[in-house]
A and B are shown apart, each in its own frame.
Chain A
Amino acid sequence: MSEKPAEIMFAQACNMAMAKAMADDPKVILMGEDIADEQGGGVFKVTAGLSAQFGTDRVRSTPISEQAIVGAAVGSALVGYKPVAEIMLMNFITVAMDQIVNHAAKLRFMSGGQTSVPLTIRTTTGAGTGLGGQHSDMLEAWLAHVPGLKVVAASNPADAYGLLYSSIMDPNPVIFIENTPTYFTKGPAPAPDHVVPLGKASVPREGTDISLITYGRGVGASHAVAEKLAGEGISCEVVDLRTIAPFDEETVLKSVAKTKAAVVVHEAVKNFGTGAEISSRIHEELFSELKAPVGRVGSGYAPVPFSPAIEKAWMFSEDDIEREIRKILG
C-alpha cells in the first residue's frame, strides 16, 4: 500500500511560503498586528515561528494602525523592500484604502515608471461563522476595480503556498486574500519549490456541459455540486481563477468555448461583484455560442447578518449553484 501523501493546513502553507520568501530574499519583511511570536504569532497563528527564525527586525508587530502599516509597506517597497503587510481581517483594509488605492496602486504609473511598489497585503475574511457585519466581508471587487493592483485568492493549501510566494516576489502590489473558515482545512502538501504563477487559472475538474468559474471558497462548493450532478450525468468543468485581477481570460474563454455554458460563483455579494465582469467578458467574446446567458451566484444584497438563521439565508450556497446550473441547462 502506497503511503498517503503529506497534508498541510492552509494557514501552514501561507506560513511556509513566507518563510521561504524570507529565506530566499533578505528584502522580504513582515508587518502586522500581533504577528511576532511574543504577541502570539498572529491571531490565526499564520506567522507563528517567523520572528523566532528571522528576528523581530524583519517580522514586526505593529500598533493598531492599518493606515501606518500599509503606508510603511508602500514606503519601504519604493526603495527596494518586499514588504508583506498583514491586515488582520479584510474589513480593516477599509481604514488603509487611501494608501492602497491612491498610493500603492498608482505610484508606478504616476511616476512614469521611475518607482514601483512590490508589496503584498495578506488579509483574511469569510462569512458563515457569526462574526456579523464588520468582520467577514469579501471586498475583492473593490480592489479588483483599481488599476495597478493584483488580487489573488487561493482555494487550497498547495496553491496558497505557490501563489503567496509569487505574490511576494511580484514587482506589483498584490492583495492576497485568505479565507478564515478554511484556514485549518488540510490539502496535499506542495513540494518546497512549488510556485504558482500569478494570472494563471487552473482547471481542477474537467467537464463538458457547463463551466463553473470561481475562486477561493467557491471552488470547494463548486466541486461538491459538480460531484453531485455527475451522478445525474451532468458534466461540470471547474475553473479556479487563483488570480482574480487580472484574471486569466484565455483559460476561462477556452473552457466556455468548449462547454458553451457558464456560472460564475463567489462568496462576495452578487451585485456589482467580480462575477459581473467575468460574465460580461464571456458574453463579449462568446455570446453567439452560448446555450444560455452566463449565470452568477453570490451572496445577498445586505451586510453580513449576525444571526445564524439569516446569515445562512443570505450566504451563497451549494443549493444556489445547483439551481443556477439547472436553470441554464434547462
Chain B
Amino acid sequence: MADKDVLIDIFTRADLIMQSDIKFRKMIGAGQLQIVYYPVRGQEVVSAAMMAAVNQEDYLVTIYRGLHDQLAKGIPSKDLWAEFAGKMAGTCKGKGGPMHITHPETGVMVTTGIVGSGIPIANGLGLASQLEKDGKVTVCCFGDGASNIGAFHEGLNMAQVWKLPVIFLCQNNLYSEHTPMAFATSSETIKQRGDGLGMRSVRVNGNDASEMYAAAKEAVEYARAGNGPTLIEAMTFRFHGHLLGDTSHYIPEEEMEQALKDDPMPILRQQLLDMQISETDIAAIEAKNAATIEEAAQFALDAPYPPGDEYRIDVLDVEIAA
C-alpha cells in the first residue's frame, strides 16, 4: 500500500477528475455546452496515480479521451474548462478544443485526436530530454486499440533502441469504440507486444491506486536513471461509452455490472478511511474540488469567444492576411 500522503494526493487528483467528468456530462446533457465529449469516468485512478509519480516539468502526450490525464497533470481547471467551451481564455484560445489540449506550463505538450500518433511524438520529447540531459521523463497515454496501429510498433521499437526516457501508458479499457479488445488484437495482452519489442513491460490493475502508483514510480525511476522506456498496461474500464451519447450497447451487461462494482473511486475512498483519514478530511477535499469546478465552469460559460478573424493568427508565425 502506498503511504498516506501519496494516497491522499492520488485521491485529490482522482476526485477532481471524477467530479469534472460528472459536471461536463451534466452540462452537455443540459445543452449548456455543445461539444463532443469522451467520458473518463472509471479511468480516474490510472492518471491520478501516474501523474502523482512525475513532476510538473515532465512531459505529457495524450489523446482525445484526455481530461483525466490533463487534470491529473495539473492544468488549472479554469483554463481547461474555457478551452472545452471554445473560449479565448482557454488553454489554446479556443482553437484546439477538447481533443487538442496543449499547456506547456504543466508539461502537456500534445493532445491528439489521431489514434496512435502521440507515440512517435513522445519519442521526440524523450530524445530532446536525453540530449539535453534535463532529467525529464515523458508520459505517453493511449488506449488498447492504439496498439493495433503502425505508429505504436514503430514508436516503441525506436524508443527501446534509443533507450528514451518515455513511459508508454496504455490505458486498457478493453474497448476501442465498439470493438472489444479480443476481436481486433492478436495478442492476449498489450504487455506481450512490449515484451516482443524487447521493452521493459508491466501489466497492472490501473484501478488500484497503490499498484498503479508503484508501477508508475518504478518506470519513472528507471527512465530517469537512463535505462530507457517502460510500457505500462494499466487495466481499467470506461463507464459512459466511447463518447457521450454512446449507450455502451456492445458491452455485455454482466461485464458492465462487474466493472461498476469495481469502480475505483469508492474503493480508493474506503482505503483512505481504512488508513484513519477522517471522513471530515476527505469531505473537505471533495468540497474544495467541487468549488474549483463550479468556479471553472462558470468562468468558461461567461468568458468571451475569440473574434472570428482569430483564425488567421497562429497558422504561421506571422498573421495571415485576410
A binding-site residues for B, Cβ under 8 Å: 33-34, 38-40, 43, 61-68, 91-92, 94-95, 130-135, 300-303, 305-314
Contact = CB atoms under 8 A, between A and B. Distances in A.
What are the 6 A-B residue pairs with the smallest beta carbon separation, nearest first? A306-B97, A313-B308, A307-B94, A307-B86, A63-B148, A63-B184
B149 interface: yes
B281 interface: no
A132 B96 CA distance: 6
B72 to A, nearest CB: 22
A281 B2 CA distance: 71
Given A33-B179, A64-B184, A130-B35, A309 B86 contact: yes
Interface residues of B, number: 45
B86 A91 contact: no
Contacts of A94: 114
B162 to A, nearest CB: 23
A34 B178 contact: yes
Contacts of B112: 134
Residue of B179, B250, B310 contacting most chain A CB atoms (<10 Å): B179
A300 B34 CA distance: 23
Contacts of A68: 150
B100 A64 contact: no
Contacts of A313: 308-311
Interface in B3-39: 34-36
10 contacts: A62-B184, A95-B151, A132-B96, A132-B97, A134-B99, A135-B113, A300-B311, A305-B95, A306-B99, A313-B311
Interface of B: 34-36, 86-87, 92-100, 112-117, 145-146, 148-151, 176-179, 183-185, 249-250, 305-312, 315, 320
A67 B148 contact: no
Contacts of A307: 86-87, 93-95, 97, 305-306
B148 A64 contact: yes
Nearest to B86: A307
B148 A65 contact: yes
Nearest to B35: A130
A306 B94 contact: yes
A303 B315 contact: yes
B36 A310 contact: no
A130 B28 CA distance: 14
A64 B145 contact: yes
B143 to A, nearest CB: 9
Contacts of B308: 309-310, 312-314
Contacts of B35: 130
A310 B88 CA distance: 10
Given A39-B179, A39-B250, A95-B114, A300 B312 contact: yes
B278 to A, nearest CB: 43
Given A65-B148, A303-B315, 8 more contacts: A33-B177, A39-B178, A61-B179, A130-B36, A134-B114, A301-B320, A307-B86, A307-B97
B34 A130 contact: yes
